[in-house]
Chain A
Amino acid sequence: MSNFEIVTREDYSDVTYMLEIRHPVMAKAARAGQFVIVMEHEHGERIPLTLADFDPDEGTITLVIQAVGKTTREMQQNCQVGTSLYAVVGPMGIPSLIGKRKKVLCVGGGLGVAPVYPQARAYARSGAYVIGVLGFRNRNVMFWEDKFRAVCNELIVCTDDGSAGIKGLVTKGMEQALAAHADIDEALAIGPPIMMKACAEVTRPRKIHTIVSLNPVMVDGTGMCGGCRVKIGDGIKFACVDGPDFDAHTVDFDDLMARLGRYRPAEQEALKKWEEGCRIGSAAPKNGERY
């Protein structure tokens, strides 16, 4: 497999962008909850990204990416319609187990909003009553509200500043939904680890089965390096092949957060160097071109 062409791109904010990539085989094989590993160019790093959507008829997969580090910012600049990524491998991980649930709470925060979508859709198709809770910083960075409305029976939007929906974090939206529905029998939360940790604490006293999707640092994504190991209960699991979905009430989030930061000094160095390169050159470095 090679030549992974970008067929659509949309920018949702100055840091969030969506890429639709042609990969007919993966579009057919992908299931809710799975992820891919992407390399932008030959010198690039391998970054795991949860699938935000896949369309077997169009033969495309969709990724929603937040430009935070060197690689994702470089991709923001270089990944235009008609260009190709050097490597896209997947679908990886065990697909989400969408059982027969009556009422499900699907919570997505920030970048976690996009990967919640395929699971919300899968729950809807399984016949469950789906309540979506989406959290954004403010109204300007919101995306996919219409897509969620199409698969959710109810949708609660939360913003930090109250510019759309209710003012507050997703946990406030969850409390609101839980107060209105006593019969929610499953919850799903995807977002930054600190958010997922808070969501787990909301459902824990109510004993609602809660799933989180973990995205630790990975290299190969096939179980070979062990970089993505996470503490689940008393044991160690590899998020790439044993997950990425885990029971939220057994995840050691503090451990996850500490391990996510382990390459931060190097990551910051790379970003700084890249930004300098952007300022010095008249244009930013293109695919594969080095500073």
Chain B
Amino acid sequence: MPEQDPLVRAKNFKEVALGYTLENALLEADRCLQCADEPCVRGCPVGIDIPAFIQKIAEKHYHGAYDVITDTNLLPAVCGRVCPQENQCEGVCTVGDTLAPVAIGRLERFVGDMAIREGWVNLPHIEPSGYRVGIVGSGPAGMACAADMAKAGCEVIVYEAFHEPGGVLKYGIPDFRLPNAVIDVEIDKLRKLGVKFECNTLVGRLFTIEQMITEMGFHAVFIGTGAGYPSFMGIPGESLNGVLSANELLTRCNLMRARDFPNFDTPMQPGRRVAVIGAGNTAMDALRVSLRLGAEKVYCVYRRGKAEAPARVEEIHHAGEEGVEFHWLTSPLEVLGDDQKRVRGMRCQKMELGEPDASGRRRPVPVPGSDFEFECDSVVYAIGTNANPILGQTAKLKLNKRGYIETDENLATSIAGVYAGGDIVTGAATVIEAMGAGRKAARAMKAWLGLRDTDVVYAPEAPHVGRRFGFAPDEHGYARVRLG
């Protein structure tokens, strides 16, 4: 896929991957074998009919490709960009056994971008069901759940604590990976489905989950608040000025637009030499944002090796191209400060890989006497998050030992009618996994409310066999009884 030149893009916030041209897309679509056993569909957390949409592209029936994707995935332009396809659909692609796998993510993005350009929106016919559904958090889990519940005829209100909807897609993922304009289009689509967004609303404190059910007239509630409580390591020097979480750096830069300071009022402290601790996708975002903010040197400090890094291969590759220096097998011991309590450097030690640990990755062990210091003026922590405590503090929700919300296999919480999914249940994961959880919870909520499963796809060209009295056999005639 065409990309901006690394040295140019490291200085701007424009998108790195420029997207497929028509020719690129057609060539790539032709590589799909249309396997009968469809391993890629099983590899997709939301089960997109991948061979079908690629077939449509190959037939140059692009709107048809869009129809196929939106049967299961509302946000192709987002997922095509941020899904870790190498571990999902592309990781199990049959072509990938011998050659490079079919670039499913890029094709998905191609279709999503074309839909945005052409203004395609697939609005289903919605029959109002009379039910009201409240959704807490407007990130990927909440958005996916909102779409499904709106399609099922529910009146859906999404509450967001920030002043703009989008959650981590807005505050976390930088514009060069996922432009805010793309997210806004997707949110507008939800609005067209009838979803209402209420920003500046901190659920738990402004009103509680229980109040939503008992006083505010919601028949079901979905919690998708994300994990959001950044971890620190507990090493000396962490409260020095210049030490911050990746969440803080990214929120200031992306959502609050501190990169345009002082035209936007939120300040930040751009470092000249920035060390980012961690090697996940958030770490890569923090590293690459720091470069774009004008840092001369940007170091990635990670206690394991490159093979163990949790970030997507593509992200690590992009970061390296742009000039990030990787320090694998390096563990921080102390952040060093000057007399003004500002960061002046870090002390680290080298590690080597030992026996595999509980996560299956080889455990890093310190190399004795390998301590060393280096200069930096900013240290960014990107080592994961803990459970956000607000809902646990304010609702009688059952939490697990680590503070995440406990659910059953259908994502139902300990409060009847209240469901939860995404990072606040599983801990930090990916956008598509959160969306998958939002959809799974929506299925359970529909069953709980007694709504017919609207996930059933009615392909218009499907043969009309087995119809009885004009109804397809999978279209059950539910009778719903509402109390009160």
Is B269 interfacial (CB 8 A cutoff)?
A: yes
Known: A90-B202, A92-B205, A223-B229. A43 touches B257 (CB 8 A): yes
| Contact residues, A207-265 vs B (CB, 8 A) | 219-227, 229, 231, 236, 238, 241-242, 255, 258-259, 261-263
A92 neighbours in B (Cβ, 8 Å): 202, 205
| Contact residues, B227-286 vs A (CB, 8 A) | 228-230, 232, 234, 238-239, 241-242, 244-245, 247-248, 251-252, 256-257, 261-269
B264 neighbours in A (Cβ, 8 Å): 43-45
Is B199 interfacial (CB 8 A cutoff)?
A: yes
Closest Cβ of chain A: how far from B289's Cβ, in Å? 14
Residue of chain A at shortest CB distance from B262: A270
Known: A1-B198, A224-B228, A255-B239. A266 touches B206 (CB 8 A): no
Do A270 and B265 touch (CB < 8 A)? yes
Do B238 and A226 touch (CB < 8 A)? no
27 A-B interface contacts by CB (under 8 A) = A29-B207, A43-B264, A44-B264, A71-B265, A87-B199, A88-B200, A89-B163, A89-B202, A90-B202, A223-B228, A223-B388, A224-B226, A224-B247, A225-B230, A226-B232, A226-B244, A226-B247, A229-B239, A236-B238, A241-B229, A241-B389, A258-B239, A262-B241, A262-B242, A266-B262, A266-B268, A270-B265
Contact of A25 among B207, B248, B265, B341 (CB under 8 A): B207
- Mostly helix, strand, loop or mixed at chain A's interface? mixed
Residue of chain A at shortest CB distance from B206: A29
A92-103 near B? 1/0 per residue, CB < 8 Å: 111000000000
Q: How far is the CA of A224 from the CA of B161 in the complex (A)?
A: 11
A71 neighbours in B (Cβ, 8 Å): 265
Do B390 and A223 touch (CB < 8 A)? yes
A224 neighbours in B (Cβ, 8 Å): 171, 226, 228-230, 247, 251, 388
Contact of B251 among A1, A94, A220, A259 (CB under 8 A): A220
Residue of chain A at shortest CB distance from B341: A258
Contact of B201 among A1, A70, A269 (CB under 8 A): A1
Closest Cβ of chain B: how far from A199's Cβ, in Å? 22
Closest Cβ of chain B: how far from A103's Cβ, in Å? 29
Shortest Cβ-Cβ A-B pairs, 4 listed: A266-B267, A225-B248, A224-B228, A262-B241
A2 neighbours in B (Cβ, 8 Å): 199-200
Do A89 and B267 touch (CB < 8 A)? no
Is A290 interfacial (CB 8 A cutoff)?
A: yes
Counting chain B CB atoms within 10 Å of each CB, which of A87, A226, A236, A261 scores highest? Answer: A226
Do A45 and B266 touch (CB < 8 A)? yes
Do A223 and B200 touch (CB < 8 A)? no
Can you add 16 more A-B contacts, CB < 8 Å, to A45-B256, A222-B228? Answer: A1-B200, A29-B207, A45-B266, A86-B163, A219-B251, A222-B388, A224-B228, A224-B229, A226-B244, A227-B248, A259-B239, A262-B241, A262-B269, A263-B267, A263-B269, A270-B262
Q: How far is the CA of A46 from the CA of B164 in the complex (A)?
A: 13
Closest Cβ of chain A: how far from B378's Cβ, in Å? 11
Known: A45-B265, A241-B388, A262-B269. A91 touches B244 (CB 8 A): no
Do B248 and A259 touch (CB < 8 A)? no
Is B162 interfacial (CB 8 A cutoff)?
A: yes
A89 neighbours in B (Cβ, 8 Å): 161-163, 200-202
Is A67 interfacial (CB 8 A cutoff)?
A: no
Residue of chain B at shortest CB distance from A234: B234
Is B400 interfacial (CB 8 A cutoff)?
A: no
Q: How far is the CA of A44 from the CA of B260 in the complex (A)?
A: 12
Do A87 and B163 touch (CB < 8 A)? yes
Is A170 interfacial (CB 8 A cutoff)?
A: no
Residue of chain A at shortest CB distance from B388: A223
A39 neighbours in B (Cβ, 8 Å): 163
B265 neighbours in A (Cβ, 8 Å): 43-45, 70-71, 270
Is A63 interfacial (CB 8 A cutoff)?
A: no
Is B393 interfacial (CB 8 A cutoff)?
A: yes
Do B248 and A219 touch (CB < 8 A)? yes
Closest Cβ of chain B: how far from A73's Cβ, in Å? 11
Is A34 interfacial (CB 8 A cutoff)?
A: yes
B161 neighbours in A (Cβ, 8 Å): 89, 220-222
| Contact residues, B153-207 vs A (CB, 8 A) | 161-163, 171, 198-202, 205-207
Residue of chain A at shortest CB distance from B231: A226
Counting chain B CB atoms within 10 Å of each CB, which of A25, A229, A267, A274 scores highest? Answer: A229
Is A273 interfacial (CB 8 A cutoff)?
A: yes
Known: A87-B200, A259-B241. A236 touches B232 (CB 8 A): yes
Closest Cβ of chain A: how far from B158's Cβ, in Å? 12
A259 neighbours in B (Cβ, 8 Å): 239, 241
A60-88 near B? 1/0 per residue, CB < 8 Å: 00000000001100000000000000111
Contact of A225 among B206, B245, B261 (CB under 8 A): B245
A220 neighbours in B (Cβ, 8 Å): 161-162, 171, 251
Closest Cβ of chain A: how far from B86's Cβ, in Å? 28
Is A188 interfacial (CB 8 A cutoff)?
A: no
Q: How far is the CA of A92 from the CA of B381 in the complex (A)?
A: 25
A157 neighbours in B (Cβ, 8 Å): none
| Contact residues, B209-239 vs A (CB, 8 A) | 226, 228-230, 232, 234, 238-239
